[in-house]
Structure 1
Amino acid sequence: MEPFLRHTGHVLPVDRAHVDTDQIVPKQFLKRIERTGYGAFLFYNWRYRADGTPDPSCLLNDPAYAGASILLARENFGSGSSREHAVWAIRDYGFRAVIAPSFADIFYTNAVKNGLLPVRLAPEEVDELFRLARRGRLTLTVDLVAQKVHVVRVGDEAPVEPRSFSFAISPVEKDRLTSGLDDIALTERHLAAIERFERERDVYRNFAYPTPPVS
């Protein structure tokens, strides 16, 4: 998994609350067994009309937002079913971080496990970022090491006054992301202890469950 230390990128503003996982990646695309390739289905029902043609009103179809790598959203992002495919689709499309006032718990956990940084900011701070995004293409730096979001540029101009927002994250989640550890890599950190236990398990088992004497 790619480590996340800090990332600078353009913002895609999704000004909707309670975006659920079926909106992120519709259920008809969940039959695939691969974990890659889901970016093509991200927000599919928003991006395409019923006849399959791109909907020009969707920002993902706007060339001005091509290459956006930071998703800005409203509260309760990622609600609904627990499908991990939602995170896979966001990462596969090219997003490295999602900023919102709040996330569904399971989505938040899945994001951390897959190298997508979920950033919780106060509602008024998210409001300010949306206001800036309406003025022009917004560029941010998300610094996980310092746990800050910096406003780099609005349109072609740097902000008159530098703006930064702090965010909280647990030490365990921060370590996973900065080290690039998925569940398997996290387990392998304890490989020596696991192998030692396997070598000595008979001793432990006999101690815990003594063999009864043969009469």
Structure 2
Amino acid sequence: MQPFTTLDGLVVPVDRANVDTDAIIPKQFMKSIRRTGFGENLFDEWRYLDRGEPGQDCSVRPRNPDFALNDARYQGASILLTRANFGCGSSREHAPWALHDYGIRVLIAPSFADIFYGNCFKNGMLPIVLPDAQVQRLFEEVEATPGFRLGVDLNSQSITTLGGRTLRFEVDPFRRHCLLNGLDDIALTLEREADIRQYENSRRALEPWIFDASQENLQKLYQGDCFK
């Protein structure tokens, strides 16, 4: 996982509350666990005018001209601004995969669904919770200012607007540490590799039959003789 420290990014607004994970990535696309290739189907039912299916050439599909991701002014956006309870519904990890694959690195909302919120950190994205009034003002500024960008600094837990205004946000210290250092669950486990190896070696010395793959010992394990 790539570390996240700072980002200066274009903002795209999705002005809807209670956006569930099936809206973020519809269920028919959940046929892969590769984490990539989902970006073109992000918000598929809102983004396109036909029903999407896996394997389609999205470049020739009819697009909804009223949806923000299809607006030229928001192309290349890496910050998603949205409303309360974003990411509700099923806990599918494909939802953050689709956002990340599209290029989103920061999400700003008044609240997020709990499981989705945690999945964002595990996939290298920063979900930021701000009060409703601050989110509303950001929506107004995005609408009024083509090319509206924000500077996000995880180390100082701050957002800087184009006008120089600073907004503060809170992040759990452990999640902040993991994101700053690019540590997902596997990387966290590997930080204790020496301890794990020491434990395995001590167990091998105490219970060698578990690690002995000879036919005789395998038969003993199956018969339970090692535990008599």
Distance 1:144 1:204 in 2: 46
Please state whether the residue corresponding to 2:161 is helix, strand or coil. Answer: strand
1:149 aligned to 151, 159, 163, which one?
159
* Alignment partner of 1:174 is 2:184: no
Structure 1 portions without partners, runs of 5+: 153-158, 206-213
Counterpart residue number, 1:155: none
Please state whether the residue corresponding to 1:2 is helix, strand or coil. Answer: coil
Counterpart residue number, 2:103: 94
Residues 29-38 or 141-150, more deviating? 29-38
Q: Deviations over 1:112-131 (max 9, x none)?
A: 00001111111111111111
* Alignment partner of 1:63 is 2:72: yes
One-letter amino acid of the structure 2 residue matched with residue 183 of structure 1: D
Which stretches of structure 1, 4 residues or more, deviate above 4 A after TM superposition?
A: 202-205
Q: Deviations over 1:2-44 (max 9, x none)?
A: 1100100100011100000000001111112321010011001
Please state whether the residue corresponding to 1:72 is helix, strand or coil. Answer: strand
Q: Deviations over 1:20-79 (max 9, x none)?
A: 000000111111232101001100111100274111111111111110100001000000
Please state whether the residue corresponding to 2:116 is helix, strand or coil. Answer: helix
One-letter amino acid of the structure 2 residue matched with residue 135 of structure 1: A
Name the Cα RMSD after superposition: 1.8
Counterpart residue number, 1:209: none
One-letter amino acid of the structure 2 residue matched with residue 21 of structure 1: T
Q: CA 1:204–1:169 in 2, change beyond 3 Å: closer, same or farther?
A: farther
* Alignment partner of 1:35 is 2:35: yes
Counterpart residue number, 2:185: 183
Q: TM-score, normalised by structure 1?
A: 0.88
Distance 2:194 2:32 in 1: 36
Distance 2:91 2:102 in 1: 19
Distance 1:77 1:21 in 2: 8
Distance 2:123 2:188 in 1: 12
Distance 2:199 2:72 in 1: 56
* Alignment partner of 1:77 is 2:86: yes
Give the structure with higher Rg (CA).
2
Offset of residue 201 of structure 1: 2.4
One-letter amino acid of the structure 1 residue matched with residue 20 of structure 2: D
Please state whether the residue corresponding to 1:75 is helix, strand or coil. Answer: coil
Q: How many aligned positions are there?
A: 200
Distance 1:130 1:33 in 2: 34
Structure 2 portions without partners, runs of 5+: 52-60, 208-227
One-letter amino acid of the structure 2 residue matched with residue 144 of structure 1: L
Q: CA 1:20–1:204 in 2, change beyond 3 Å: closer, same or farther?
A: farther
1:126 aligned to 135, 149, 153, which one?
135
Counterpart residue number, 1:47: 47
Distance 2:206 2:100 in 1: 43
Distance 2:134 2:202 in 1: 54
Q: Deviations over 1:133-163 (max 9, x none)?
A: 11013100111000001102xxxxxx2xx21
